[in-house]
Amino acid sequence: MLEIFVKIYEYFIFFYATSLIFSYILLAIFSFIAINRYKSYNTDNDDEELLSSPLAPGISVIAPAYNEEKTIIINVKSLLTLNYPLFEVIIVNDGSKDKTLDLLIEEFDLVEAPFAYVEKIKTQPYKRTFKSKNPKYEILTVVDKENGGTKADAFNAGLNASIFPYYLNTDVDCILARNTLSKMIKPILNSKVTVIAVGATLRMSNNCEIEEGIITRVRPPKALIPRFQELEYIRSYLLGKMGWELINSVPNVSGGLGMFNKEIAIKAGGYGADSHAEDMDMLTRMAVHMMNNRLDYKIGYIPLSCCWTEGPPNIQILGRQRTRWASGLFQMFSDHRRILFNPKYRRMGLITFPYTFIYEFLAPIIETFGLLFSIFLLFYGYVNWNFAPLILLYSYTFAIMISSIVIIWDQMTFKYYNTTREVLSLFITAFIEPIFYHPLIVFFSLKGYFSFITSQELAWGTMTRQGFENDDKKKKSDGGNENKNDGNNNPGDNSGDKKSGFFEKLKNKKSSNNDFEPLKT
């Protein structure tokens, strides 16, 4: 009986691993096509026309804040420096217990102001709204509310306070490139199909040079835990999300950076107030709304790095973050279980959800069972020593190969890192990630699943911020080759001359007054 079970187990692992490898290869091909297509259809001229146009649609930038006193000022300043014709910045103070709100009031000269706060989506009680007495900060709005326990509830309050037809969700620990809004609105304006959401690549801000809220020098993190995350993010966004974008099956748009159609978000019911996976939950709600109403939609992704976020600096903080993420993933599949393998929901039901369920949600469970079962087989002498080392070496080599390809691809296409040493540090990270970092992620995932099953409370905002030092005081020359940028980060965007949609209408707007109607706000 045991021999039969062992044989079934071996076949299962073989087919599971083979299908996973095949999916990675397929996603890599899709990603290559999608990135090259993006580069050929996007030009700097488009940006110039958009930034100078009175027809550019307004965008609300929404950032929840809970106990963010160490980084709140520099990050709000970063949001205020975005380069776009028409936008507002909404900071939602979600019942912070530290000096977050006090620092905002002092730094930006805020006072309580009358505000037409309409609760389109129900949240924890709204308290008051602050506006600045300084005209310099007229686009800044601070909403104060009672703590809702999740970032999702804070986002909903930001939606209630927003006035523009599109919104960008981000975190107050994020530093955005100055051209983020123009880059992320372009897929929406250029598409013939309704684009419900657009995402972009995130990276770690740890050890980057930051001046007045603007990234002036990109570096991979020096500390090992954030550097693991840097590699993980590059692989996830460039290979994963861009691959899914080609077949319109993007599973989620990051809560750290995502642009959404506000009308559809509200019609879909907003963010699930108790969700700890608000990014995937929101996108799922919007996609389901479109499918239930038989409306075509598209989810866009751009390969440019528009956002740098402070990664957990140590294992303890990483554990809190990933436990919450895993619990949120379990919660998401529980709440939207009707979608899984359901042909009614088309690509989402038959491709996106099954892939995420089998290769992301079940992966930690399968890996842990495999480890325990291998120990059992070792104890009873069932291990095939002729093939076991080869299989282990094959898996390890494939993991390194995928990461290495992504690093090379990223550097050849966008070249965010200035020195060979910085790139080599990521290659070294790729060799040790499967041994040290991946087992931690598996453990924290299982812990998150257990937390959800046992209904343990997981409050958001438990990330301990390190804050950003003033890089003016510790600027390094790097051999006289700083190659600084102004935070715009436009690599890969200067080729091709194909235009469509919004930009064709901008070009011809003088010949017709009815070519493009500005969106009402």
Q: What is the pLDDT of residues 205-219, one digit of tens each?
A: 989 988 877 888 899
Q: What is the pLDDT of residue 508?
A: 47
The contacts of residue 416 (CB under 8 Å, 6+ apart) are: 203, 218, 305, 410, 489, 491
How confident is the model at residue 44, as a pLDDT? Answer: 63
Q: What is the pLDDT of residue 444?
A: 97
Sign of the Cα torsion 125, 72, 491, 208 reads negative
From the list 190, 200, 288, the residue with the least C-alpha distance to 241 is 200
pLDDT at residue 31, as a whole number? 93
What band does 487 get if pLDDT is binned at 50, 70 and 90?
Answer: very low
pLDDT over 50 at 199, yes or no: yes
| Distant-in-sequence, close-in-space partners of 384: CB < 8 Å, separation ≥ 6 | none
Q: Which residues contact 372 (CB under 8 A, 6 or more apart)?
A: none
Higher pLDDT, 474 or 251: 251
339: its two tokens: 């979608």
224-234 and 388-413 are packed helices; what angle lies between their axes, rounded to 10 degrees?
A: 80
Local confidence band at 460 (pLDDT 50, 70, 90 cut-offs):
low
What band does 230 get if pLDDT is binned at 50, 70 and 90?
Answer: very high
pLDDT tens across 357-374, in order?
A: 999 999 999 999 988 988
Output 344-351 pairs: Cβ under 8 A, ≥24 positions apart. Answer: 344/291, 345/287, 345/288, 345/291, 346/291, 347/247, 347/248, 347/249, 348/249, 348/284, 348/287, 348/288, 348/291, 351/247, 351/249
Shortest CA distance to 210 belongs to which of 492, 518, 487?
A: 487
pTM for the whole thing?
0.83
Nearest to 280 by CA among 226, 323, 235, 336: 336
CA angle in degrees (0–180, nearest 5) for 407-411-417: 105
Q: Is 380 left (phi over 0), alpha (psi -120 to 50) or beta?
A: alpha
Tens of pLDDT, residue by residue over 80-127, are 989 999 999 999 999 999 999 999 999 999 999 998 899 999 999 999
Examine the pLDDT at 62 and tell me if it is beyond 60: yes
- pLDDT tens-digit readout, 394-426: 889 999 999 999 999 898 888 889 899 999 999
Judge residue 354's burial from the number of C-beta atoms within 10 Å of its C-beta, 0-12 exposed, 13-18 middle, 19 or more buried.
Answer: middle
pLDDT per residue as tens digits for the range 140-169: 999 999 998 888 899 999 999 999 999 999
Q: Where does the pLDDT of residue 502 fall: very low under 50, low under 70, confident under 90, or very high at 90 and above?
A: low
**CB under 8 Å to 66, separation ≥6 — which residues?**
93, 94, 95, 96, 100, 147, 151, 154, 460, 461
The yes-or-no verdict on residue 55 having pLDDT over 90 is no
Could you report the per-residue pLDDT of 420-458, keeping only the tens digit for each?
999 999 999 999 999 999 999 999 999 999 999 988 766
Q: Looking at residues 278-298, what average pLDDT do you find?
A: 93
Mean pLDDT to the nearest integer, 21-30 = 92
Q: What is the pLDDT of residues 372-390, one digit of tens each?
A: 988 888 887 777 777 778 8
